Amino acid sequence: MIKRIQEENILKYLKLKKIIYLVGARQVGKTTLVKNLLPRLPQPSIYLTGDDSFIASELSKNNLAHLQQFIGDNKTIVIDEAHLIPNIGTTLKLLYDNFQDLNIIALGSSAIELTDKISQPLTGRKVDIHLFPFAFRELASDHGLIQEKALLEHRLIYGYYPEVVTKPGYEKEILSLLSKEYLLKDIFKISNVKKPYILENLLTALALQLGEQVSYNELSRLLSIDKETVMRYIYLLEQAYIIFKVPAFSRNLRKEIKKGKKIYFYDNGIRNALINNFNPISKRNDIGALWENFLMAERRKMLFYHKPGTQMFFWRTKSQAEVDYVEQYQTELKAYEFKWSRSRKGKPRSFIEAYKVDIKTITKDNFIDFIFLNN
């Protein structure tokens, strides 16, 4: 088993007697993580899944006596596919309020539906824990930093989804299935998307614009849909943990772009599957975008796991001076440029002078400290 960073966060918050709400895209390893963790939790324990119609029916009955009989003497309950259970928020509230020694973990792949169902009833009772595809750091801890660095170019192409990592030789087939079947399943099921092909075309367009500033108006014209639909679909893709949005940073300068946005994929492999390009690095003209997406996704995973509340930005002026990544945590500001190869390109003096922050350049020779949050 490859140990996940979030295992320790789950144990920490359970000690605070909070419901653990573990959420992330399909196939990132939520069930595997919790099943691996179960022996370390108070026993006896019970694992239930909303995929089972009987379980879903029983847990939807908001009757305290019934729940008492159903839970029995178990000290830990895991509810997988919780978003498939009617009234799950109320059920979890009853369990939390009336079984003081019960450890509760709920899993869901759909942030859209599960959040709506449990947020109101569980105010102050739960903690959200996000799980993403494997992180570079997790794999380096498993089989060594040297070996994982040697696999860097492979990861830039095929990414970090657990099944992709653990079944070498079948990367293309697995990524094709993930990108076409699993990842959009919840959106199609619960979000009333009447024309799935438009959502798929939008994803492809975003994949082709990787690393560039995104315009909702341009996407609207390209896909022949209104801007509001573009905005809604991008929101749904964010909630499904396929993409994440990074806004423009603006504080001091008149010529800064204030409302821009970039969109990244949580996984390089999914992005490459969408455009059906698995060519090696030596035969690609998008290595700069792949490198930027890899670094942004790895940094985002680590920030969620270790430093929540950190804000991610890019910076650009109307005259096209730019900084790839600006990060703010409380009052601390950091800035970075991403270069696959060393470059003599000068750093924008206007940013450095305005914000009194040096801009660090991250290359394949020094990226470890960046994705380990050491700088």
Per the CB < 8 A criterion, the answer to whether 108 and 19 are in contact is: no
- 144-176 in b/e burial notation, b at 16+ Cβ within 10 A? eeeebeebeeebbbbbbbbbbbeeeeebbebbe
Per the CB < 8 A criterion, the answer to whether 328 and 311 are in contact is: yes
- Model confidence at 289, pLDDT cuts 50, 70, 90, reads very high
The amino acid sitting at 191 is S
The Cα–Cα gap between 243 and 21 comes to: 20
> Position of tokens 């879903």?
56
The Cα–Cα gap between 273 and 207 comes to: 9
pLDDT digits (tens, 9 = 90+) for 15-44: 888 999 999 998 999 999 999 999 999 999
pLDDT of residue 85: 87
The mean pLDDT of 229-245, rounded to a whole number, is: 92
pLDDT of residue 120: 63
Structure tokens at 57: 């029916």
pLDDT of residue 205: 96
* Ordered alpha helix ranges (H), 285-361: 287-306, 349-355
How close are the terminal C-alpha atoms of the chain, in Å? Answer: 29
The answer to whether residue 191 scores a pLDDT higher than 80 is: no
Per the CB < 8 A criterion, the answer to whether 119 and 93 are in contact is: no
Ranges of each domain in the chain: 6-130, 136-371
The least confident of 61-75, 169-183, 246-260 is 246-260
Task: Compute the chain's Rg from CA coordinates.
Answer: 22
The mean pLDDT of 291-315, rounded to a whole number, is: 96
Nearest-10 crossing angle of helices 136-143, 287-306 = 80
Please state the pTM of the whole predicted model.
0.93
Bridge partners for 108 per DSSP: 23
The topology under which CATH files domain 6-130 is Rossmann fold (3.40.50)
pLDDT of residue 149: 96
- Model confidence at 78, pLDDT cuts 50, 70, 90, reads very high
pLDDT digits (tens, 9 = 90+) for 119-160: 567 777 888 899 999 999 999 999 999 999 999 999 999 999
